[in-house]
Amino acid sequence: MSDLPQSRSVAGKSWQLLSHNTKHSFALAVNILNDFIKLNSDFPYESPAIMDADIILTDSNGRVLEAKKTQRGLYLWKKLSSGIYHLNIKCNNFQEEIRTINISENISTKQNILLKPGYDFPYPEKSVWLRSTVIDSQSMPDNPIPVAGIPVQLTFKNDIPAGRSQSTITDSLGRFIFYFKNLKQDFIANDISDQSVKMTIDIDGYYKYTRDNKLEITDQQTLSYFKLEKSTN
């Protein structure tokens, strides 16, 4: 069919039919979940929902859009135009999460977002984690200089259990934590009681840093400082 205006005669008069585009609006629903609890067989009776997150949605012009929060903790925006939106989520004891969302007719308008617990999260007694702080090697003993916002990679020796590699980012105080879900189940399945892990920091401006550490099924370890030395290159 032609996109040009069409005409027809009604009661002897000529009427012009103009085609036009209807502007669609969309809704976005966001569910915030605790990554440590979600699908963790070691703690099957805990609720993963996070009810007290601070969540900000901005459009491509930087305009902040208010959300309606439901009784079940779902954050809801209505009458959104298609386009790019930025989502910033903060919650006490969790790592900050930043997402870019493309609102269009072709994507789901419901997002389940998993927040990773942070360094000070009140982990259950039987949980397993390793944590430390990254500092500049030139720090004085009574005045550590944190290295913030850098990636730390963790890998298991021989990748057993499979797919257990993790990465995280140091917080504003240089701190990081690795926590492990379903570890007891995986260790039993692989007939092991402990495992060696390697943590690696490899960023521009510093020499590569690695540290090996043994991880046991009941471990909660706060490790000594990771001291990064600035490279001379």
For the chain, the domain total comes to 2
Q: Provide the CATH number for the domain around residue 110.
A: 2.60.40.10
- CA dihedral of 106, 108, 109, 115, whole degrees rounded to 10: -130
What is the distance between the alpha carbons of residues 228 and 225, in angstroms, rounded to a whole number? 9
> Which residue range(s) make up the domain with 43?
26-115
- Same domain? For 93 and 143 the reply is no
Q: Which of 115, 136, 169 is the last residue of a domain?
A: 115
- 191 part of a folded domain: yes
- 82 part of a folded domain: yes
What string of DSSP letters covers 183-226?
A: HHHHHHHTT-SEEEEEEEE--TTB--EEEEEEEETT-EEEPPPE
Mean pLDDT in the chain?
81
Lowest mean pLDDT segment, chosen from 8-17, 44-53, 121-130, 149-158: 8-17
| pLDDT greater than 60 at residue 11 | no
- 9 part of a folded domain: no
Which is higher by pLDDT, 201 or 50?
Answer: 201
What is the distance between the alpha carbons of residues 220 and 62, in angstroms, rounded to a whole number? 42
Percent of the chain surpassing pLDDT 90: 40
- Same domain? For 55 and 99 the reply is yes
- Same domain? For 79 and 136 the reply is no
**Per-residue pLDDT, 132:** 96
- CA dihedral of 144, 145, 151, 154, whole degrees rounded to 10: -20
Q: Which two tokens stand for residue 170?
A: 């140091």
- Same domain? For 105 and 135 the reply is no
- 10 part of a folded domain: no
- 16 part of a folded domain: no
> Which one-letter amino acid corresponds to residue 146?
P
Q: Provide the CATH number for the domain around residue 185.
A: 2.60.40.1120
pLDDT tens for each residue of 12-39: 433 333 333 345 678 888 989 998 887 6
**Per-residue pLDDT, 216:** 77
